[in-house]
Amino acid sequence: MSQVRMSRGSGVVYMKRQKILLVIGVVVILAVLLFLAVACEPMATFKIENDTDQTLNVFVAASALDRVDISDPRIPAGPVEPGEILRFKGIPHTSFNTFLIEARDAQGNLVYSQEFKLQELEKANWKIMIPASR
């Protein structure tokens, strides 16, 4: 039977490896906790009513600034049938100050585009009506 001897150098390497693994473990735990903290941010439920006579595809964009920029991503909220209300929950409202609601018809034409401030949406209980064209 052979015996394995550990030299002083290999013990030091083993200790360094344990410290590195400990640091990596702590970093991973902190990353998971940060993700959970951000993921738990309150989300508002937009209630978007379609008062037109056509099915619309609704998009929502948000900005921490006073205006939504053209480069801010539009998040698809979904289609909404005529006379129906679309409920969309997908943007943490405490992180943003300005919201843009856009609606497009089946051909992709812009039918509705309106910016709202956070206070306006809170006052309206997050309800938005897309009016019939005049």
The answer to whether the beta carbons of residues 44 and 121 sit under 8 Å apart is yes
Separation between Cα atoms, residue 100 and residue 86, nearest integer Å: 16
For 47-106, write each residue's pLDDT tens digit.
Answer: 999 999 999 999 998 888 877 877 778 889 999 999 999 999 877 766 788 999 999 999
In the DSSP assignment, the letter for residue 26 is H
* Domain at 43-130: CATH architecture: Sandwich (2.60)
Q: Residue 34: what pLDDT? A: 63
Backbone torsions φ then ψ of 115, nearest 5 degrees: -90, 145
pLDDT for the residue 84? 96
Q: Write the single-letter amino acid at 74.
A: R
Domain boundaries, the chain: 1-40, 43-130
